[in-house]
Amino acid sequence: MNRKLDNFEGTNYNAAKSIIKQLRESGHKAFLVGGCVRDALLGLTPKEYDITTSATPDEVQALFKRNVPIGESFGVILVLINDMQFEVATFRQERGYEDGRHPGEVNYTDSEIEDVVRRDFTINGVLYDPISEELYDHVNGLSDLDKGIIRTIGDAGERFDEDKLRMIRAVRFASRFSFKIDDDTFNAIKDKCTLISSVSNERIRDEVVKIITQKNPGDGLKMLSESGLLKEILPDVHTMIGVEQPPQFHPEGDVFIHTCLVLDKLYH
């Protein structure tokens, strides 16, 4: 699908485009992927640009002398251009997530489709070619963006078994964009919410901070509650549910609802 994304502009975009151009001229496939494509399609200005390519980490390092191998075992190289940084990741397949976070086996591939289907949510799986200005959607991400739906790529239970933090990320994306979480995806979160305890406190903290400092933080807390995640990660906040307040002073409801409303007011 041909579509010029007007929100792709500026120095960072031009630098990312130059990386893709150089990869292409060296015989490799390369696309923009993830949040930058999603945000541009939603009319937002991307904060960073991630690149996915058929080039191996060694080939990326050979092409771009200023680089940092931040995740070489997973095929991720940080390419530096002036004071800008770009993650360049090799197309890959992943298997065996014994720790609920890291794959036990990583295999590089030259197929962008095989790479996309391992990702988390459909809205993050759309590829963009800045050279031809073509969009490539192998996971129905464009349809879910249009409908306002957060849906895992493939089986929701499998995606959450691979990385438990994706359960909180689903809530974060849904609240930030005022989207609805797909029923199968939400039911999988409710089924697996207790497994979030296997994720490090630091990673959980980072996601929660993003939820309460972005748009619709109150809705984010409510979704965490409805999914069962709130009780697991913020038990003290969970205890606010059902704690009554004098109705003449707080007609909005219990202490939890009051807290959600306060967070929404703080955002605005």
pLDDT tens by residue, 214-252:
999 999 999 999 999 999 999 999 999 987 877 777 777
25 has pLDDT over 90: yes
**Residue located via tokens 């969009």:** 135
Other C-beta atoms closer than 10 Å to the C-beta of 254 total 14
pLDDT value of residue 101: 60
Provide the 3-class DSSP secondary structure of residue 52.
Answer: strand
Residue 248 DSSP label: T
Q: Determine the longest span between alpha carbons in the chain, in angstroms.
A: 71
Distance CA 139, CA 158 (A): 16
Residue 6 is which amino acid? Answer: D
Distance CA 213, CA 215 (A): 7
The pair of structure tokens assigned to 90 is 């090799």
How many CA atoms lie within 13 Å of 144's alpha carbon, on the beta-carbon side? 25
pLDDT value of residue 100: 54
Using CA atoms of 56, 62, 64, 67 in order, give the dihedral in degrees to the nearest 10.
80
pLDDT tens by residue, 149-202:
999 999 999 999 999 999 999 999 999 999 999 999 999 999 999 999 999 999
pLDDT value of residue 245: 76
